[in-house]
């Protein structure tokens, strides 16, 4: 077949759709259809007949347009957190994860995926097992919210007695609760909140909320306010007394320093990895680990280690309980893809840090939050932290002025914080923005 001498992309305008009209016609002739549309069964109701109005552009022109568009974004120094944490990702992670062995248009969660990729996912799972103390970890979910939803459906399937109530903290990231409620749509399950006391679980109120109709109790460590939960063993005991699944939300950095979830009675651990990607515009990596009793109930995929016919170590996708692979009525989840490449980056980042580096990072997060809270507490009109607890990464601060006004005035001075209540802002500090902590304090001295 002949090509335009400038290359096939000259005809289509895209190097990613390089077929010429002649090549397309030859392929259609080979499969015996007259048009590309004949290959698809698209209902009329959802068929788009219009023109998208996207003119072909060269790479240089497109880069210029995007740069101009991005210039419209505010250039703020972020002190944002509440589930999305910015940690420095070493360039080693970019260079290794961008190698052609790991970047593929083929789905990276199929049995045919390369041994090297499977080994990386096995290492990722092993890291979670070590951090949580639980025997089983899958090779990733979309994010913390989807992992929480899957934990709830696991609890409803596996609980030995009937029950439909899912208890969550009243102070919970709104997106996580919304996704959880979406997951439970169409079931008899209901999501109910239990009270918090000074940022942590109100143990007495939780005890009163629990009964045999409760299928799962969810708690977080650290909490959405950045406080460290001190009564996890008690929460675990309360859940066990009513045969409810105890699900704990956390992240890989915090787990390096905090109590091992298995030791405090957690049945399932969910959360975001907080490694390998920084805040990355919202993309997450959902952790999911559980007791071995739940092996057959785990959503997503497990990578296992075995031996091939020659006795060499080999890795394989051992368990996939989604409906595409097993009978629908026995599937545990209809979750389709996962975050394999992001899990690979998280494993690389964790390996680069090593056990001591991971602990040091977590300790820095405690120290930075404590130091900044003390600094802000000395500012007239600010009380920090609001909760008389230990914190990691972030804390809430009370403002005499309306919190939304303080947030807006800080944005005009180049800083972004959360306004979480009429007079509460939340500030998150890690190793990536701690060098700007004094500048934030100086700005607050003016606007508070």
Summarize pLDDT for 88-115 with one digit per residue, the tens: 999 999 999 998 888 876 666 676 788 8
Rounded average pLDDT over 308-326: 82
**CA dist., res. 298 & res. 41, Å (int):** 34
**CA dist., res. 111 & res. 4, Å (int):** 39
**CA dist., res. 36 & res. 5, Å (int):** 25
Structure tokens at 309: 């016919």
Please write down the long-range contacts of 97-102, taking CB distance under 8 Å and 24 or more positions apart.
97/341, 97/344, 97/345, 97/348, 102/341, 102/344
Q: Report pLDDT for 18.
A: 75
Checking if the pLDDT of 144 tops 60, the result is yes
pLDDT in tens, 154-190: 999 887 768 899 999 999 999 999 999 999 998 999 9
What's the mean per-residue pLDDT of the chain? 90
Checking if the pLDDT of 406 tops 80, the result is yes
Residue 237's contacts (CB-CB under 8 Å, 6 or more residues apart) are: 265
List, edge to edge, every strand of the sheet that includes 165-169.
136-137, 286-290, 268-272, 245-251, 214-220, 165-169, 190-194
Q: Report pLDDT for 102.
A: 86
Rounded average pLDDT over 15-31: 86
**CA dist., res. 293 & res. 135, Å (int):** 9
pLDDT in tens, 273-284: 889 988 766 678
Structure tokens at 389: 């607890």
Residue 92's contacts (CB-CB under 8 Å, 6 or more residues apart) are: 348, 352
Q: Report pLDDT for 3.
A: 45
Query: Rounded to 5 degrees, what angle do the CA atoms 53, 57, 63 make?
Result: 115
Q: Report pLDDT for 159.
A: 77
Q: Which segment of 77-86, 152-161, 392-401 scores lowest on mean pLDDT?
A: 152-161
Checking if the pLDDT of 4 tops 60, the result is no
Q: Which of 380, 388, 391 has the alpha carbon at shortest distance from 427? A: 391
pLDDT in tens, 257-276: 999 999 999 999 999 988 99
- Percentage of the chain beyond pLDDT 90 is 71
- What size, in residues, is the chain? 448
Checking if the pLDDT of 116 tops 70, the result is yes
Checking if the pLDDT of 122 tops 50, the result is yes
Q: Report pLDDT for 339.
A: 84
Identify whether the C-beta of residue 227 lies closer than 8 Å to the C-beta of residue 389. yes
Checking if the pLDDT of 326 tops 80, the result is no
């Amino acid at each position: 077949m002949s090509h335009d001498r400038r290359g096939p992309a000259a005809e289509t305008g895209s190097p990613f759709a390089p077929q010429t009209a002649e090549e397309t016609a030859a392929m259609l002739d080979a499969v015996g259809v007259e048009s590309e549309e004949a290959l698809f069964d698209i209902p009329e109701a959802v068929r788009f007949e219009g023109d998208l109005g996207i003119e072909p552009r060269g790479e240089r022109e497109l880069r210029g347009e995007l740069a101009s568009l991005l210039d419209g974004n505010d250039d703020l120094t972020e002190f944002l957190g509440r589930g999305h944490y910015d940690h420095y990702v070493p360039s080693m992670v970019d260079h290794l994860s961008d190698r052609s062995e790991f970047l593929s248009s083929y789905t990276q969660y199929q049995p045919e995926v390369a041994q090297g990729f499977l080994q990386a996912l096995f290492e990722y799972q092993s890291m979670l097992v070590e951090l949580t103390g639980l025997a089983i970890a899958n090779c990733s979910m979309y994010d913390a919210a989807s992992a929480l939803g899957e934990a709830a459906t696991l609890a409803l399937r596996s609980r030995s007695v009937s029950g439909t109530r899912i208890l969550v903290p009243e102070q919970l990231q709104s997106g996580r609760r919304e996704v959880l409620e979406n997951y439970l749509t169409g079931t008899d399950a209901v999501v109910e909140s239990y009270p918090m006391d000074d940022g942590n679980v109100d143990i007495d109120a939780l005890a009163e909320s629990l009964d045999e109709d409760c299928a799962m109790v969810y708690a977080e460590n650290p909490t959405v306010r950045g406080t460290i939960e001190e009564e996890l063993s008690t929460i675990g005991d309360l859940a066990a007394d009513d045969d409810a699944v105890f699900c704990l939300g956390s992240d890989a950095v915090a787990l390096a320093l905090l109590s091992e979830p298995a030791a405090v009675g957690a049945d399932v651990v969910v959360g975001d990895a907080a490694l390998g990607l920084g805040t990355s515009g919202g993309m997450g990596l959902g952790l999911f680990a559980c007791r071995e009793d739940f092996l057959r109930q785990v959503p997503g995929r497990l990578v296992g280690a075995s031996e091939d016919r020659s006795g060499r170590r080999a890795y394989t996708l051992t368990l996939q309980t989604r409906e595409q692979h097993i009978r629908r009525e026995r599937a545990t989840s209809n979750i389709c893809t996962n975050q394999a490449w992001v899990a690979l980056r998280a494993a690389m980042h964790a390996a680069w840090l090593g056990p001591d580096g991971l602990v040091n990072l977590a300790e820095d997060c405690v120290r930075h939050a404590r130091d900044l809270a003390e600094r802000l507490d000395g500012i007239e009109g600010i009380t920090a932290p609001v909760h008389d607890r230990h914190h990691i990464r972030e804390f809430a601060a009370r403002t005499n002025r309306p919190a939304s006004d303080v947030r807006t005035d800080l944005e005009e001075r180049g800083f972004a914080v959360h306004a979480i209540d009429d007079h509460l802002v939340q500030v998150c500090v890690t190793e990536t923005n701690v060098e700007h902590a004094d500048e934030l304090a100086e700005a607050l001295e003016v606007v508070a």
